[in-house]
Amino acid sequence: MKSNSYRIILILMVMSITLSSVSQERLDDWRKDITTYTSLSNAASENPENVIKLSLFYEKIDNWESVCQYKKLEGLELIDMFGENFPVCILELVDLKFLSLRNNKLYNLPKEIVKLKNIEFLNLYWNENLKELPQELTNLTSIRYINIGGNPNMDWGSTFSLLSKLPNLKSIALSFNNIKALPSEVGLLTQVEELIIDNNLMKNLPNEMSKMKNLKRIVLTNNSFTTMSKVIATLLNLEEIVISNTYEEDHDKSLAGRYGHNRITDEDILALRKANPNLKVTMR
């Protein structure tokens, strides 16, 4: 068991405050609306019907029913909480809208995840044993945001094909996946509005991305671009591109982060703005 500084945190919120109050459609915003923090032991005196958000960090749970007893949960975050064995009682929490399984050791998601039909935010960040998503995930049509960063063993072609079948999916995060080239299937993601692919090894973007007509924001920071991909100029609905720290593959990434090493030129930026005058280019 790790230091007490990483003790379990339970987030209790009254029933009148739900995930619909989240100000932006990003996972981190869920945690900004926290109003009460307490220990799991203190929760014993609470009415389980009033527990809406639960966030657990770095602790061993011997009896998962102590978590799953909160049947009205809409948000559940489990960071480094279990190994490869998914706690199946979670699948009975059918009111869940937010599910974060960060930093665990999952090899796969159970097919029964289809029971969680209200899921809007799914965070699978850093489950590096994960290689694929279950086909049943396509039945979770409420999903709007998925984070599959830190999973370098994924088959991205089949993953993008699967995600293209989620009609309400707006944002995909693919950070820290050692991706050298996006597969052509990325062009199937025509419903997606935000694509976060920072901290990879890409030198270019595929022409198929021109089919992503609804894309509004793309994050490309910490990749290996030598010039700005021409396909960006075809994305006329794009509102913001975030790019900096473009380095050679063998470049020291720590130095790139400190000194803002960038090989994208002013001419590249001018060309983008000529094609899309309203485009915001964020260099950070």
Task: Please determine, for residue 206, whether its predicted confidence score (pLDDT) is greater than 90.
Answer: yes
- Asked if residue 117 and residue 29 are part of one domain, the reply reads yes
Q: Which has the minimum average pLDDT: 10-14, 43-47, 92-96, 169-173?
A: 10-14
Q: What is the pLDDT of residues 131-156, one digit of tens each?
A: 999 999 999 999 999 999 999 999 99
DSSP conformational letter for 9 = B
- Asked if residue 67 and residue 40 are part of one domain, the reply reads yes
DSSP conformational letter for 217 = E
The more confident residue out of 140 and 34 is 140
DSSP conformational letter for 117 = T
Task: Please determine, for residue 253, whether its predicted confidence score (pLDDT) is greater than 50.
Answer: no
- Asked if residue 194 and residue 132 are part of one domain, the reply reads no
For residue 144, what are its two tokens? Answer: 């709007």
- Asked if residue 279 and residue 153 are part of one domain, the reply reads no
The more confident residue out of 10 and 194 is 194
Domain total of the chain: 2
- Asked if residue 195 and residue 156 are part of one domain, the reply reads no
Give the whole-angstrom CA distance, residue 100 versus residue 96: 11
- Asked if residue 145 and residue 235 are part of one domain, the reply reads no
For residue 8, what are the domain limits?
1-177
Residue 53 three-state SS: strand
Query: Which residue is associated with the tokens 């975050």?
Result: 77
- Asked if residue 283 and residue 205 are part of one domain, the reply reads yes
For residue 210, what are its two tokens? Answer: 């021109």
CATH of the domain at 100: 3.80.10.10
Angle at 173 between CA 169 and CA 178, to 5 degrees: 140
Cβ–Cβ under 8 Å, residues 93 and 73 = yes
Domain endpoint, select from 150, 177, 204: 177
- Asked if residue 40 and residue 166 are part of one domain, the reply reads yes
- Asked if residue 277 and residue 213 are part of one domain, the reply reads yes
